[in-house]
Amino acid sequence: MTLSYRQPGAVLTDRVFTVPLDHDRPGGETIEVYGREVVHPGKAGEDLPWLVYLEGGPGCKARRFVGAQAWLERALKDYRVLLLDQRGTGRSTPADRQTLALRGGPREQADYLAHFRADAIVRDCELIRRELTGGAPWSVLGQSFGGFCAVHYLSAAPEGLAEVLITGGLPSLDASADDVYRAGYPRVARKVAAHYARYPQDVDRARAIAAHLVEHGPVTLNGGYRLGVEAFQSLGMMLGTGDGSHRLHYLLENAFVRTPHGPAFSDTFQEEVQTALSFAARPLYAVLHEAIYAQGGQATAWAAERVRAEFPQFDAEKALADGAPLLFTGESIHPWMFGADPALAPLRETADLLAARTDWPDRLYAPEVLARNEVPVAAVVYHDDMYVDTAHSLETARAIRGLRTWVTDEYEHDGVRAGGTRVLDRALGLVRGEL
C-alpha cells in the first residue's frame, strides 16, 4: 500500500522496493530501498517521464525538501521525480553502528558493506525502473557521488537511460584513491587561502583554537565527540559549499569563554563543532568513503591519511611553531575519526577491513562503452571544485561520447541546491540541445 500526501507545490508518495543484497544472488537475502515520489499537484494524474535523483555521499539520504524547493521546482515542470534513499541510508534498510551489529563481527559487517557501492546502487535502480516505468528508460540526476553512480550507470546499463544530468560528479575513470587525494590537498589549500583572504581575523582565531588543543590535548565535547587538533582542522570540509566559508567564520568567532579555570571552549562552539563533525546521521559516508574509488583489486589502505604526509604544510604543530596560518583539511576520512566520533567508534575494525580489502571489481567504469555512448548527457563542472577534481572531471567529459559540459565559477559544489532552478535549467538545456 502506498501513501500520498501534499506539501506546498507537490504531491508526495512513499514507495518501498525490495532488492537483493547481492544482485549476483537474486534468490538470497533482500533489503529495502525507499523512494519518495514527487509530482506537481496539477500533473498528478498525467503519464509523465520519470527522473530519479541520486544524492551525493556516499551514505547520504536524498534531501528532504519541503514542497517544490530548489531544483525540484524546475524538475516538476517536466517529470515525476523519485528521490531515492540509496541502500543503507534514510528510510532504506539502515546500515549503522546500531544495525550492523546484527550482522556479526567486523568481518561480516565489512562483507555486508561491500555491497553498498555505486555498482549495487545502479542495479537497484534498474530493478526499480522496471517496476515503475514498465521497462521504459528514465532520466537520472546525479549530484556529486550520485554523478559517480550515473557514470557507472552509463557504463553498465545505458539501455535504462533516457538522459543523464550530472552536477559536480564526474569522476576520474581510472584514478586510485591515492590519486584523488594527491590532487585534493592542493585544492583544499587554495580554499583555505581564499577563506583567510575573506576573513583575515580568522587566521588568529584558528591558530588560538589549535594552540589550545595542542597545549591541553583533545577535549571531549558536551556531545561526546573527542576534539583534537586534526579533528578541528577537518572543519575545512565546510569550505567546499557556497556558504561554507561564512558558516566557518561564524563558528570560529564563538570559540572561547572565560571560566574560573581559565579559557574554555564555549557551549555554543562545542555544539556547533559536534554537529559539523559527527557522522551519526551518515556513518556510511565515513565507512565507505575511500571504497567508492576502489577498483582493480587494489586496497585503499587509508589513502587520505597516507597522502597527507606528502603535504607537511597541513601539520598543525609545525604551522604554530613557524607562525604560519593553520590549514584546514577537506573531504577526507582518517582512522582517528573512528576514535573521535562515538557514532563511528564501534565500526573501526570494520573500516580497517574495508580499507585492506582487495577483492573489488576490476573496474567501476567502462571506457569503451562510454566512448560509443548514445545517451544524451550533460554535466555541470564547478571551477576548482573542492570535492571533485576539475581536471579529472574534464578528462572524463572528453571520454564520454556526446557529453556536454557547463564549466562555471558562479557556484561551489552545492550549486544545484544553492542555485535555485538555474543550474538544473541550464543542464536540461544542454542535454536537450537547446543551448
Domain boundaries, the chain: 3-174+363-431, 177-356
Q: Is 359 a catalytic residue?
A: yes
Q: Is 115 a catalytic residue?
A: no
Q: Is 139 a catalytic residue?
A: no
- Which member of 92, 289, 413, 414 is catalytic? 413
- Residue owning grid cell 559517480: 148
- Which member of 92, 144, 172, 332 is catalytic? 144
- pLDDT of res. 3: 82
- Which member of 24, 47, 261, 359 is catalytic? 359
Block mean pLDDT (10 aa), the chain, length 435: 87 97 96 98 96 96 94 97 98 97 97 97 98 96 98 98 98 96 97 98 98 96 96 98 97 95 94 97 97 94 97 97 97 97 98 96 95 98 96 98 97 94 97 93
- pLDDT of res. 1: 56
Asked whether the CA dihedral 92, 98, 104, 110 is positive or negative, the reply is positive
Q: What is the CATH number assigned to the segment(s) 3-174+363-431? A: 3.40.50.1820
Question: Is residue 220 within a helix (H) or strand (E), and if so which, with residue range?
Answer: strand 219-220
CA neighbor of 161 nearest in space, from 265, 238, 49, 266: 49
- pLDDT of res. 36: 97
| Per-residue cell: 388 | 571533485
What residues form DSSP beta bridges with 392?
none
